[in-house]
Amino acid sequence: MSRLIVPALLAVLVVGIAAPSVSDDMGEIARAGQWQVGVLRLPEAWRLSRGAGVLVAVLDTGVNSRHPDLEGTVIQGPDLTGTARSLWGQHGTAMASLIAGRGHGDGRGVIGVAPEAEVLSVRVTLENGDPLREKQRSGAGDALAKGIRYAVDHGADVISMSLGGGSGSWEGSAPEEEAVQYAIGKGAVLVASSGNDGDTANRKNFPAAYPGVIAVGAVDRGLKVARFSNRQDYLSVVAPGTEIVTADGSDSYVVGDGTSSAAAMVAGIAALVRAAHPDMSPYLVRRAIELGTRKRPADGHSRAYGHGVANALLALRAADRLGAPAAALPRPGAYFGFGDGPPPGSRVPVVVGMLVLVAAMSARVIVRHRRRARDST
C-alpha cells in the first residue's frame, strides 16, 4: 500500500533565526536557546555516556552534512522517495542536529543529546512544502519499510523516525510493521514521534503506533504536555518539543514546535544508553527510558504523558539497574520487545512464569532420567 509520510514538525511554527551564514553570534544564540539541555540533565549524563560507537539512522527528508554542527557526523544513505531533490534536507538536518549535533567553535551551535554518535541519513519522505509530494503520494511505495530494513542491514543501533502517516492513511501498513519487527529482532531500537494533531483529530499515528516502537510526545518549558501532542495509550514518554532550536539546511538555524524534536531527543537518549550498554535489548533500552523519567503519572502511565518526561541521566541510571544480572530476563509477554505486558500488580505474568518454569524443570528431570536409564543399559 502506497502512502505519504510527512515530517512531524509543525512547519507553520518554524521561524528562521539565521543570516545566510553561521556567524559566531548566531551560533552562540543557538546554543543559548537549547533549554532542553538542562531539562534532560545532559551535562551530568555526558559524564556517563556521549553516544560513542553508536549509529543512529535518521529516516527523514535527508540530512545536510555540510552544516558546521554536523561536520564529520553524517553517513549518506539512499534516497528511497523516488523523486528528484527539490526542497531537501531541512527537516532531516534539524532532527540529526538534535540527536548528534556537535556544535562548532567554543560553545556555539546546536549540540545533540548524543554528540559522539554517528548519523546514517536515509531519505524516505519529502518536506512539507515540497511541490513534488503529490508525485510521492502515488509512486513512493513502501519507502519507510525499505528505509527501516536498509538502516538495520547497515548497522544502525537506533532508528529515529520523526514523521507520521498522511494523505488520509493512518492505519499503518503490513510491510512497515514487518520491517519494524525485523529491526527489533536484529536488536535495533526504534523511536517515532506521536503526531501533532492532539488538539484536533488526535489520530493514531504510525510508525509510532507499531508495537515495540518508542512513541514520543511533546512538552513545553513548564513540562506540560503541548496542546498539539497526540495522546494515545501506546505513548511511551514525552520530551521537550516547543521552541526548539535546530540546525537548518547547510548554514542556518530555525526554532520550531513539534513531536518531531521530542522524538529526536529520545532517540539521542537511546543512543546514550546503547553506548553504555551495547548488548542491551531493544525492550530493556525502552524500559530504561520509561523508568528513567520525571513527572511520572500517579498510576504509572497516562495517554498524555506516557510514563513521564524523558531524562537522559535517569535513563542511564535505570539502564545500569536493568543491566544487572538479576534484571537480564524480560518479563513474560515481552520477549520480542513488543508492548509493556500486563499492568503493574497483575498476577498473570507471575503465575504464567511459574508454570513455564515448572514445566521446563519437569522436562529436564524427565530428559535426565531417560538419559541415565539409557546410560545404565
What are the residues whose beta carbons fall under 8 Å from the beta carbon of 241, sequence distance 6 or more? 217, 218, 219, 220, 226, 229, 257, 258, 259, 260, 261, 262
Question: Mean pLDDT for the chain?
Answer: 83
Please answer whether residues 211 and 340 qualify as being in contact, where contact means their C-beta atoms are separated by less than 8 angstroms: no
Residue 331 has what pLDDT?
A: 46
187/5: higher pLDDT: 187
Q: Which residues are catalytic?
A: 60, 91, 260
Residue 253 has what pLDDT?
A: 95
Residue with cell 521561524: 15
Locate the domains of the chain by residue range. Answer: 5-327, 347-377
What are the residues whose beta carbons fall under 8 Å from the beta carbon of 213, sequence distance 6 or more? 161, 180, 190, 191, 192, 207
Q: How many residues does the chain have?
A: 377
Q: Residue 107: name the closest of 119, 115, 117, 99 by CA.
A: 115
Confidence of residue 250 (pLDDT cuts 50, 70, 90): confident
Cis-peptide into 207, omega within 30 deg? yes
Please answer whether residues 163 and 60 qualify as being in contact, where contact means their C-beta atoms are separated by less than 8 angstroms: yes
Architecture of domain 5-327: 3-Layer(aba) Sandwich (3.40)
| DSSP bridge partners of 293 | 310
Nearest-angstrom CA–CA distance, 355 and 61: 49
Confidence of residue 210 (pLDDT cuts 50, 70, 90): very high
pTM: 0.82
Nearest-angstrom CA–CA distance, 307 and 233: 11
The string of pLDDT tens digits covering residues 43-79 is 999 999 999 999 999 999 999 999 999 999 999 999 9
Residue 232 has what pLDDT?
A: 96
Confidence of residue 366 (pLDDT cuts 50, 70, 90): very low
pLDDT of 256 > 80? The answer is yes
Residue with cell 522436562: 363
Q: How far is CA 68 from CA 27, 29, 103, 123, 322, in A?
A: 10, 15, 7, 20, 37
351/252: higher pLDDT: 252
**Dihedral angle computed from the Cα positions of residues 19, 25, 28 and 30, in that order, rounded to the nearest 10 degrees:** -20
Nearest-angstrom CA–CA distance, 95 and 299: 32
Nearest-angstrom CA–CA distance, 328 and 325: 5
Nearest-angstrom CA–CA distance, 116 and 72: 10
The string of pLDDT tens digits covering residues 140-177 is 569 999 999 999 999 999 999 999 754 334 678 999 99
pLDDT of 11 > 90? The answer is no
Please answer whether residues 196 and 8 qualify as being in contact, where contact means their C-beta atoms are separated by less than 8 angstroms: yes
- Other CB atoms within a 10 A radius of the CB of residue 224 amount to 15
